[in-house]
């Protein structure tokens, strides 16, 4: 199976534009034989830690905006994982959608959210793609061994990790190396392949991300990594 992790500039409050970016990238993925494409955390509306912004951005899966977003992917062969702030009745989750052939084939909600107002998810679904079984952790989940272990316990051999390291400069510097080390330790601890996709470049108010988009082998070594601070894609053929 060929997997791709897309490192992209952050887009805020413009799901239509994000839909165009994802469709462009998935067409590229189809042209290059990619089976599974991973995009960053909260990529659809733009990430935030601010409760009021999150509440304003959150969308339910049956909303017109989500239906419009999905409708453009009906002719796409590759499976995609895209992060979003998801509204479920009176609760909000930091989630990731699995998209297959223009429909939502499943959802995972971040188990250990740091975002103000986001509820923790309790479910750890897995999906099958050929001989591969994959699940999702989101960013801070990788700091909690339980999150990946729940997937490993269901037979997952691939962990997909949308992340968003858009931070204030001092924190961005602090996490530049540490984030990679955490992902490597997670892959090695559970003996699974791991694919992370991050944003890169400038955000609002001086925040920025170096980009930690990386594909890691089960022994913790790096199989592919994007260039920092620019849009890029990491691609690996899993054995």
Q: What's residue 105's pLDDT?
A: 98
Instruction: Provide the pLDDT for residue 44.
Output: 98
- Which DSSP category does 83 fall into? E
CB count in 10 Å sphere of residue 17: 11
What is the extent of the structural domain holding 134? 2-237
pLDDT score of 57: 98
The per-residue pLDDT of the chain, averaged, comes to 97
152 secondary structure, DSSP code = H
% pLDDT > 90, the chain: 99
The strand pair at 193-197 and 214-216 is best described as: antiparallel
Q: Distance (Å, rounded) from C-alpha 4 to C-alpha 35?
A: 8
pLDDT, position 142: 98
What's the pLDDT tens digit per position in 65-110? 999 999 999 999 999 999 999 999 999 999 999 999 999 999 999 9
Average pLDDT over residues 110-134: 97
CATH at 129: 3.60.110.10
Considering its fold, how many domains does the chain have in total? Answer: 1
Q: Give how far Cα 90 sits from Cα of 49, 71, 221, Å.
A: 18, 26, 42
The answer to pTM > 0.85 is yes
The two beta strands, 2-9 and 91-100, are unpaired
First to last CA, the chain: 7
Name the residue among 7, 64, 1 with its Cα closest to residue 35: 1
**pLDDT tens per residue across span 141-171:** 999 999 999 999 999 999 999 999 999 999 9
pLDDT band at 24 (very low <50, low <70, confident <90, very high): very high
- Amino acid 236: pLDDT: 98
């Amino acid at each position: 199976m060929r997997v791709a992790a897309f490192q992209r500039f952050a887009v805020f409050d413009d799901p239509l534009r994000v839909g165009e970016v994802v469709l462009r990238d998935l067409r590229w993925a189809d042209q290059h034989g990619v089976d599974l494409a991973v995009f960053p955390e909260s990529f659809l509306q733009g990430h935030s830690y601010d409760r009021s912004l999150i509440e304003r951005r959150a969308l339910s899966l049956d909303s017109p905006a989500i239906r419009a977003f999905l409708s453009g992917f009906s002719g796409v062969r590759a499976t995609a994982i895209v992060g979003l702030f998801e509204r479920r009745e009176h609760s909000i989750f930091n989630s990731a959608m699995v998209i297959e052939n223009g429909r939502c084939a499943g959802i995972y909600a971040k188990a250990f959210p740091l975002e103000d107002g986001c509820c923790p998810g309790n479910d750890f679904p897995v999906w099958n793609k050929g001989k591969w079984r994959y699940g999702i952790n989101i960013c801070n989940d990788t700091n909690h061994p339980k999150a990946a272990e729940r997937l490993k316990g269901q037979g997952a051999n691939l962990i997909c990790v949308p992340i968003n390291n858009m931070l204030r400069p001092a924190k961005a510097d602090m996490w530049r190396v540490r984030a990679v080390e955490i992902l490597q330790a997670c892959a090695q601890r559970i003996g699974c392949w791991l694919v992370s996709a991050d944003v890169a470049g400038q955000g609002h108010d001086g925040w920025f991300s170096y980009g930690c988009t990386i594909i890691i082998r089960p022994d913790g070594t790096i199989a592919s990594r994007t260039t920092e601070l620019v849009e890029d894609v990491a691609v690996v053929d899993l054995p």
